């Protein structure tokens, strides 16, 4: 078996954990490769010495990788998705901070679950992505696991987003922007703007306006096999396109076509940790917070 190791940062108080992790992998004869920048962080910040293979992008991530471990939070998994893409490698999200919706395996409990995970005793949660297509702009990795957002740029004025579903006019959104979210992203930016929480197994996208001018505009769910076309108008002739945490300024001449990507990201969940359990924990449902 061979696994990939990925993270965005590491702190000195995590050194003992990572030393034990690599030692455990070697004891189990598990081959591993470490993302180049993360290997440099572990060596410089934690004074570790790693003699491992490295990878840095989609092209040099080997197809033979059986499992992809991320260390961080949900944002780390979103970043990892740009490397994994359509390679269909299961992702184990190890949370090094607070409980996440994607990274649900807390760092202090990893070693209790490691044998089960390496032995294939887990559940796969398959997560859909949104793809952006344009004719007039080049977008590196034009996919989002959480959401695609169109927002105003360098202006206090609203923008207008004309939206069409399968060629039929849906609405002209006068707002600070528009969010198109996957079920995975329904607990993120969309939720903070009044969007619904949607189970990740649901085949939908959620369209949510950001601070709409018309208060009767409400979030709208469409089937994820739909094609959503967006045309943006702004006083400054530009807008921001965000794909998860990646931002790109575009001219209003650039129209967007959004559709479901032809691949999924596969998230590993231990058998004793379900989505609804995570939701209850994260949202404090059923907890009396009055005292």
Assign a CATH topology to domain 130-260: Tumour Suppressor Smad4 (2.60.200)
Q: pTM, whole model, 2 decimals?
A: 0.93
pLDDT at residue 200 greater than cutoff 80: yes
Phi, psi of 187 (to 5 degrees): -95, 10
Domain boundaries, the chain: 2-127+264-283, 130-260
In percent, the amount of the chain with pLDDT more than 90 equals 85
Q: Which residues make Cβ contacts (< 8 Å) with residue 108, sequence separation at least 6?
A: none
Segment 182-192 shows an average pLDDT of: 96
Q: Determine the Cα angle at 199 with ends 196 and 203, to 5°.
A: 95
The strand ranges marked E within the chain are: 2-7, 31-35, 53-55, 67-72, 91-95, 105-106, 123-127, 130-133, 143-144, 147-152, 159-165, 168-175, 177-181, 204-210, 220-223, 228-233, 238-243, 246-251, 256-260, 265-269
User: For 4-14, what is each residue's pLDDT tens digit?
Assistant: 999 999 999 99
CA atoms within 13 A on the CB side of 273: 26
Q: Which pLDDT value is given to residue 108?
A: 86
Q: Is the pLDDT of residue 290 over 70?
A: no
Instruction: Place 271 in a pLDDT band, splitting at 50, 70 and 90.
Output: confident
Is 115 an annotated catalytic residue? no
pLDDT tens-digit profile of 201-213?
999 999 999 999 9
Cβ(130)–Cβ(261) below 8 Å: yes
Q: Class for domain 2-127+264-283, per CATH? A: alpha beta
pLDDT > 70 in the chain, percent: 99
Q: How confident is the model at residue 291 (pLDDT cuts 50, 70, 90)?
A: low
Q: DSSP states of 53-103 as a string? A: EEE-SSTTS-TT--EEEEEE-HHHHHHHHHHHTTS---EEEEESSS--SS-
Whole-angstrom distance, CA of residue 93 vs CA of residue 275: 14
pLDDT for the residue 285:
87
- At residue 17, the pLDDT reads 95
User: Please, what is the Cα angle at 68 between 81 and 36, to 5 degrees?
Assistant: 80
- pLDDT for res 154: 84
pLDDT band at 195; cut points 50, 70, 90: very high
**pLDDT tens digits for range 83-129:** 999 999 999 999 998 778 999 888 988 999 999 999 999 999 999 99
Question: How much is the average pLDDT of 67-79?
Answer: 96
Given a cut of 80, is residue 263 above it in pLDDT?
yes
Given a cut of 80, whether residue 58 has pLDDT beyond it is yes
Q: 74, 176, 229, 244: which one is catalytic?
A: 74
Q: Do domains 2-127+264-283 and 130-260 have the same CATH topology?
A: no
Lookup: tokens for 269: 């969940």
């Amino acid at each position: 078996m061979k696994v990939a190791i990925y993270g965005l940062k590491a702190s000195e108080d995590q050194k003992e954990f990572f030393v034990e992790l690599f030692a455990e992998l070697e004891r189990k004869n598990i081959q591993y490769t470490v993302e180049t920048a993360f290997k440099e962080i572990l060596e410089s910040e934690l004074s570790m010495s790693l003699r491992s293979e490295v990878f840095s992008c989609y092209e040099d991530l080997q197809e033979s990788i059986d499992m992809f471990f991320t260390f961080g939070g949900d944002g780390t998994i979103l970043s990892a998705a740009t490397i994994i893409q359509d390679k269909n490698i299961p992702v184990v999200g190890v949370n090094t901070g607070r409980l996440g919706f994607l990274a649900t395996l807390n760092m202090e409990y990893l070693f209790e679950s490691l044998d089960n995970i390496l032995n294939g005793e887990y559940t796969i949660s398959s997560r859909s992505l949104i793809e952006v297509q344009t004719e007039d702009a080049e977008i590196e990795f034009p996919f989002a696991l959480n959401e695609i957002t169109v927002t105003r740029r360098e202006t206090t004025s609203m923008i207008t987003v004309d939206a069409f579903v399968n060629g039929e006019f849906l609405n002209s959104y006068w707002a600070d922007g528009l969010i198109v979210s996957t079920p995975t992203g329904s607990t993120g930016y969309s939720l903070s703007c009044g969007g619904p929480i949607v189970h990740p197994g649901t085949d939908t996208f959620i369209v949510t306006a950001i601070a709409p001018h018309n208060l009767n505009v409400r979030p709208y769910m469409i089937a994820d096999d739909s094609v959503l076309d967006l045309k943006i108008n702004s006083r400054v002739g530009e807008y921001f396109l965000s794909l998860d945490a990646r931002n790109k300024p575009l001219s209003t001449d650039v129209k967007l076509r959004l559709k479901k990507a032809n691949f999924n990201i596969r998230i590993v969940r231990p058998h004793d940790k379900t989505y609804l359990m995570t939701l209850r924990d994260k949202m404090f449902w059923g907890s009396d917070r009055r005292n």
